A and B are shown apart, each in its own frame.
Chain A
Amino acid sequence: MMHLSDLKKHLIALLVILAFIAFLPMVITQRYFLGEIILFMIWASVATQWNVLLGHAGVFSLGQMLFFAIGAYAVAMMGYYLDASPWMSLPIGASAAAVAALFIGLACLRLGSAYVALLTFAIVFMVGTLVMTETNCFTTVGQTCQPLFGGGNGFSGFDDLGFRKLLKGKWVVGNYYVVLGVLAISLLASIIVIHGRLGLAFRAIGDSAIYAAARGMNRTKFHLIAFVITAFFTGLTGAVYAAHFRFAGPSLFDFSTLVFILAIIVVGGLKSTWGPIFGAALIMILVEFAKDMGDVQNSAVGLVIILFVLIFPKGIAGSATKIFRRAMTAKNL
C-alpha cells in the first residue's frame, strides 16, 4: 500500500466526494431535488465548520448561527439597499462574520467552556430579538415599512447570482455549482485545519491543557484563531444561502435551526473529519420524512439527538471506523 500522509488521504477523499456531488446534476434534473441538495450542501458546510470548532478545537460555541446570519444579512442588505450583486457581497459577508467573531471571541474565549457556551447563546438570542423587534422604518417601499435590519420579515427579492438571466430555466444548476464551490472551500479549509499544524495544537491542548500551556501554547490564542476562521467560512455559507434563496430573515436565529445543525454534527460524529457530510444527508432525509408525517420534524430531530448521544456517542463516523477496524483486525488474525 502507498504511504500517504493523513492530509493527502483526506484531500483525495475530498476530490472523490466533490466529483460525486458535481456529477449529480447530470442525472437529476428535477428542480426540487437539486434545491434539496443545495440545502444539504449549505448545512453540511455549516456543520463542518462547527465540528472543527466544537469537536477539534474544543470551543463550545453556540453562536455559529449568528455568523451564518451575518453573512446572509450582509448579502441581503447590500442587495436591497445598494443593488449590489451577491458576487461582490459574498466575501464582504464572510469578512463581516469573521470580524464579529474576533470581537465576540476576545470578550468570551478567555472564560471556561461552559461560560463560552452560555454567553454565545445569549448573544445570538439578543441579536435575534433586537432584529425581530425593530419597528422604526428605515425606508418605506410602497405602503410597507422596511426597518434597517428587516424586522420580523427580513429581506427578500433582492438580486440573485445572475443565473436566472444567463441560464434561463436551468438557473438552479448555476446556483448548484456556486454552492458546491463554497462547500469545497469550506471542506478544504476544515481538512487543512484539522490535519495541519493548527489541528496538532488543538489536539495538544485537548489532551492536556496544562502540559500544552507549560510548553508555551496559548489556549486562548488558538481558540480565537479557530473561532475566527470557522466564523469566516460559516459567514460565507450564510452569504451564499441568502444569494440562493434571495432571503434573509430572523428565522435564522431560531433555536430549532441551532438544534437542527447540532443534530447533524452529533449524528455524523463529533471529532470526525467527514461526519458532518453524512450527518447532513441523514438528517435532511429524516426531516423530509417527518414533514410528511405531519410536521413533526422538531420532535424527530430532538429524538435523534437523544438517541445518538445515548447509544452512539461517536456518531456514524465513529461507529463506521470501529466496525472497519474490527473487520481489519479480524482479517489479520
Chain B
Amino acid sequence: MDALLQILITGLTLGSMYALGSVGLALTYGTMGMFNMAHGVFMTVGAYMSYTAASLWGLPIPIAIISGILAGGIVGAAMHLLIVRFMLDREDFQTTIMVATAGVAILLQDIILKQYGAYPFRQPLQIEGSFRIGQTAITYQSLAIMGIAALMIGAMAWLLTKTRFGLAIRATAMNQEAAQLMGVKTELTYFQVILIAGTLAATAGILISSLASLSPSMGTNPLIRAFVICVVAGLGSVTGAGFTALVLGVMEAAIGYYFGVRYGFPVLLGIVIVVLIFKPAGLFGKQGVIRA
C-alpha cells in the first residue's frame, strides 16, 4: 500500500512535469505541423533564467519564476520571427523545420554552456518540508509542482476552449485555408502558438530543475519524453498528450521502483512501440486527421 502511494506520488509529479513539457509540443504540431527540436532548450532557458533572477540578481522567488517563464516565451517568439516565419510556405516544411530547430537547439545549448559552464547548479527555487500519509512522505515540493503544472495547463485549456483567440487556434489546426478565408490571421496564430509553447516549456524546465539540477543539456531528457508522449497520444492531440503524460509518468515510476530507475524509460519505449504496432496513429489520434 505504502509502495503504491509512493509510486503514485512520484509518478504524478513526473507526469505533471511531462504533461507541461509535451502539451506545448503537441499544440505546435497540431496547429502548424511543426516539430520543434528546440523545445527542450526552451526548458533549459526557462530554468537558467529563473536561476539567474533568483540567485544572481536576488529577486524574490515568484518574480524569478515569472521571469523564467517569460524568457521561454521570448525565445520562442524570437525563433518564430527570425526563422519559422520564413519557412511556413515551404513544400517540405515538416522535415526542414526539424532540421532548422535542431540547429537552434544546438546553438542555444552552446551559448548557455559558454555563459554558465558545464558545472551543474542547484536550482534555488525550493520549498522545504514534507508531510506524511501513513508511512509515505509527501514533499511540499512535489505538491507545488503538481499545482503549478495544473494551473498552467488549466490556463491553456481555458484559452483554447473559451476564448476567441483559442477558437482561432483550433480553427487553424483543423483547416488552415478555411480559417484564413474566415478572416483568421494564421501567421499571427502561429506566433501565438509558439509563444504559448515556449512559456509552457519554460515552466516545465523550472519545475524539472527544482527536482534535479541545472545543466546545459538538461532539456534533452524531458524533450525525448515529450516526443514519446506526443507519439503515443497521436501527434497533435493536446488533451491526449496531457493524459498520456500522467499515465506514462506513473508507469515510469512503477518500473523504476520495481526494476531500477535505469530501466524506466527503455521499458516505456518498448511498450510505446508495441502500442504503435496496433494503433499506428497513436491512442488519441485519428487516422488521416493530420494534414499531409
Question: Chain A: residues with CB nearer than 8 A to chain B?
Answer: 54, 60, 107-108, 110-115, 117-119, 121-123, 125-126, 129-130, 133, 255-256, 258-259, 262-263, 266, 296, 298-299, 301-306, 309-310, 313
Contact = CB atoms under 8 A, between A and B. Distances in A.
A262 B276 contact: no
A298 B217 CA distance: 13
19 contacts: A60-B95, A60-B98, A107-B273, A110-B277, A115-B235, A115-B280, A118-B230, A119-B273, A119-B276, A121-B227, A122-B231, A299-B106, A299-B107, A299-B110, A302-B106, A302-B110, A306-B100, A310-B86, A313-B96
B150 interface: no
B275 to A, nearest CB: 11
A113 B109 CA distance: 26
A313 B102 contact: no
B23 interface: no
A301 to B, nearest CB: 6
A201 B111 CA distance: 43
A259 B231 contact: no
B220 interface: yes
B276 A118 contact: no
A152 B284 CA distance: 38
Contact of A126 (B95, B220, B265, B277): B265
A125 B95 CA distance: 20
A115 B279 CA distance: 12
A122 B262 contact: no
* Interface size range of chain B in the complex: 35 or more
Given A113-B95, A119-B273, A305 B231 contact: no
A108 to B, nearest CB: 7
B94 A262 contact: no
A263 B269 CA distance: 28
A309 B103 contact: yes
Contacts of A115: 231, 235, 276, 280
B224 A121 contact: yes
Interface string B213-233: 000010010001001101100
B178 interface: no
Interface string B108-127: 11110110000000000000
